[in-house]
């Protein structure tokens, strides 16, 4: 039976941790050790670096300008938030194909309540989130209690929630939201004080989480990561934060929408890595039957995760509405695929039990960079689709080969 107090297996397999009276083995620092845990994104990071270099050269330096990078990060906010929901479901070994439809249906409910029923902005937002939670509860009930395959449940849900969107919108194809609070959620920029302090606080929480996890595992005489690896993760996180903040501040400031999405990512990273709920989620995704025999309420876990995923979808829909200032009746054909692709590119297993919520950052950046760079080059949609598909396949293949290599050497 699997241990519930463990890290995500780096090899892609769910291996049991066998504890003995011997002291914890202190692994040595090596390049291969960086391929485990939260640093297992190196293949995708290299892919992102190549994409950045290519577009920086072909656009004559426009790609890395502060203005374009600000636009790029704002463009991937919705994908990032939606992808966090996709990660939670994928970690269970399930899938949710209704996330995009849920996002736009909940956004439409918020818009209608605000425009036609004079709801205050926060009451309209809370109502949309409540509908998202209810939808997730329904999805979870069919998957967890009735044991209908999640693919079928959420595929049917995607069609049904798209119909709910049409019902809510009525005869209108587009509804413009005029409430200033709702409209200001995405396009607002933070000044220097908030723009520097909040991102650094998030980085500090990430570093504190890494340190606390290592200390807790060391006290429990479990294997721990080399201190050099943990230090490298902290230094890289601080360096990236300082560079991005400097670029944002040189333009208009730090986008509020980016901070909201990063706050959500840090929150769920801490939940998954530092709480009993997170360990139970990984256990259920690794082997639901073993988790059940270990005393985990698998039904409740699945219903909770589907509910959380739909609430995150509602948040993504709200942010999309704030950025575009309107709600449309047509569900985006690429939003769901991009959200799931961002998770998988970042290393989240489609079979459950393996991955990190940080996967969405690199995955969304890869997808967003391709879209943004090809737009700067004025490429047709046909070219964009082919290039995006090819690069995404290469990124996933490279990541799979590295992980498979780790399995062969017993890492």
The verdict on residue 76 lying in a domain is: yes
**Which neighbouring-strand residues pair with 254?**
190
The verdict on residue 97 lying in a domain is: yes
3-state secondary structure of 347: coil
Sequence-distant (6+) residues with CB within 8 A of 389 are none
Q: Phi/psi at 176 (nearest 5 deg)?
A: -85, 130
Using left for φ > 0, alpha for ψ between -120 and 50, and beta otherwise, residue 95 falls in: beta
The predicted model gives 213-219 an average pLDDT of 80
How sure is the predictor about 152, in pLDDT bands with cuts at 50, 70 and 90?
very high
The verdict on residue 23 lying in a domain is: no
- Would you say residue 408 has pLDDT above 90? no
Tokens coding 228 = 């050099």
| Percent of the chain with pLDDT strictly greater than 90 | 45
The predicted model gives 399-408 an average pLDDT of 59
290: nearest Cα among 351, 353, 348, 349: 353
The verdict on residue 15 lying in a domain is: no
**Between these two residues, 370 and 224, which has the higher pLDDT value?**
370
Tokens coding 373 = 């760079």
3-state secondary structure of 175: strand
Report the number of distinct structural domains present in the chain: 1
Tokens coding 16 = 């049991």
What confidence score (pLDDT) does residue 280 get?
94
Tokens coding 274 = 């530092």
The verdict on residue 9 lying in a domain is: no
Whole-angstrom Cα distance, residue 400 to residue 393?
10
The verdict on residue 4 lying in a domain is: no
- In tens, the pLDDT along 241-297 reads 888 888 888 888 888 899 899 889 989 988 998 889 999 999 999 899 999 999 999
The verdict on residue 69 lying in a domain is: yes
- Residue with structure tokens 């950046």? 365
Using CA atoms, how far residue 333 sits from 101, 121, 195, 268, 405, in Å, is 10, 28, 34, 27, 35
The verdict on residue 231 lying in a domain is: yes
Mean of the per-residue pLDDT values of the chain: 83
- In tens, the pLDDT along 382-394 reads 887 787 777 767 7
Domain that holds residue 39: 32-408
What confidence score (pLDDT) does residue 33 get?
46
- In tens, the pLDDT along 72-109 reads 999 999 999 999 999 999 999 999 999 999 999 999 99
What confidence score (pLDDT) does residue 245 get?
82
């Amino acid at each position: 039976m699997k241990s519930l107090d463990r890290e995500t297996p780096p090899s892609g397999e769910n291996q049991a941790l066998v504890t003995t009276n011997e002291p914890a083995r202190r692994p040595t620092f090596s390049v291969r050790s960086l391929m485990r845990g939260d640093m297992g994104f190196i293949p995708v990071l290299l892919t992102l670096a190549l994409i950045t270099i290519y577009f920086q050269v072909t656009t004559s330096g426009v790609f890395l300008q502060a203005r374009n990078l600000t636009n790029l990060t704002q463009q991937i906010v919705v994908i990032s938030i939606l992808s966090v929901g996709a990660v939670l479901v994928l970690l269970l070994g399930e899938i949710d194909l209704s996330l995009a439809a849920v996002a736009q249906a909940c956004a439409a409910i918020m818009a209608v309540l605000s425009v036609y029923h004079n709801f205050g902005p926060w009451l309209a937002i809370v109502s949309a989130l409540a509908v998202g939670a209810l939808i997730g509860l329904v999805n979870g009930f069919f998957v967890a209690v009735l044991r209908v395959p999640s693919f079928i449940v959420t595929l049917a849900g995607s069609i049904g929630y798209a119909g709910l969107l049409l019902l809510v919108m009525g005869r209108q194809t587009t509804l413009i939201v005029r409430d200033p609070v709702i409209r200001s959620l995405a396009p607002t920029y933070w000044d220097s004080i908030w723009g520097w302090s909040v991102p650094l606080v998030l980085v500090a929480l990430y570093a504190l989480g890494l340190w606390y996890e290592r200390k807790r595992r060391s006290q429990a005489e479990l294997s721990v990561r080399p201190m050099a690896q943990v230090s490298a993760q902290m230094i890289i996180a601080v360096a990236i934060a300082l560079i991005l903040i400097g670029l944002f501040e040189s333009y208009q400031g730090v986008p509020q929408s980016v901070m909201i999405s990063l706050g959500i990512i840090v929150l769920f990273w801490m939940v998954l890595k530092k709480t009993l709920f997170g360990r139970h989620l990984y256990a259920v995704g690794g082997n639901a039957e073993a988790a059940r025999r270990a005393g985990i309420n698998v039904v409740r876990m699945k219903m909770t995760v589907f509910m959380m995923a739909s609430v995150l979808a509602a948040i993504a829909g709200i942010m999309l509405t704030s950025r575009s200032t309107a709600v449309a009746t047509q569900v985006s054909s690429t939003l769901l695929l991009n959200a799931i692709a961002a998770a998988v590119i970042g290393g989240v297993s489609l079979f459950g039990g393996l991955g990190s919520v940080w996967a969405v950052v690199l995955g969304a950046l890869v997808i967003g960079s391709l879209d943004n760079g090809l737009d700067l080059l004025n490429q047709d949609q046909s070219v964009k689709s082919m290039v995006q598909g090819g690069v995404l396949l290469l990124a996933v293949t490279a990541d799979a080969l590295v992980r498979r290599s780790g399995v062969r050497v017993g890492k």
